[in-house]
């Protein structure tokens, strides 16, 4: 499964700095999201197509026709 990237706000600049090329140092900036911050749920397979864009992509799969 894929997991969203979690960075502390204090690490944003280091992560986005193109001069920062040390993969080990960059990997050390990654954290596990805090409990309760993420919710796993089924969504429509329409999210897999980059041509699709809109609020309907955020609906639970059970709520879509």
Residues 29, 17: Cα–Cα separation, whole Å = 13
**For residue 47, pLDDT beyond 80:** yes
pTM: 0.54
Residues 46, 19: Cα–Cα separation, whole Å = 37
pLDDT band at 64 (very low <50, low <70, confident <90, very high): low
pLDDT single digits (tens) 3-30? 788 899 999 999 999 999 999 999 999 9
pLDDT at position 32 is 83
Query: Which residues are CB-contacts of 44 (< 8 A; sequence separation ≥ 6)?
Result: 56, 57, 59, 61, 64
Residues 53, 36: Cα–Cα separation, whole Å = 26
């Amino acid at each position: 499964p894929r997991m969203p990237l979690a960075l502390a706000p204090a690490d944003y600049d280091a992560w986005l700095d193109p001069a920062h090329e040390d993969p080990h140092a960059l990997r050390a900036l990654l954290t596990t999201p805090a409990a309760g911050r993420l919710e796993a749920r089924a969504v429509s397979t329409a999210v897999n197509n980059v041509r699709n864009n809109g609020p309907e992509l955020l609906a639970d799969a059970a709520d879509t026709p």
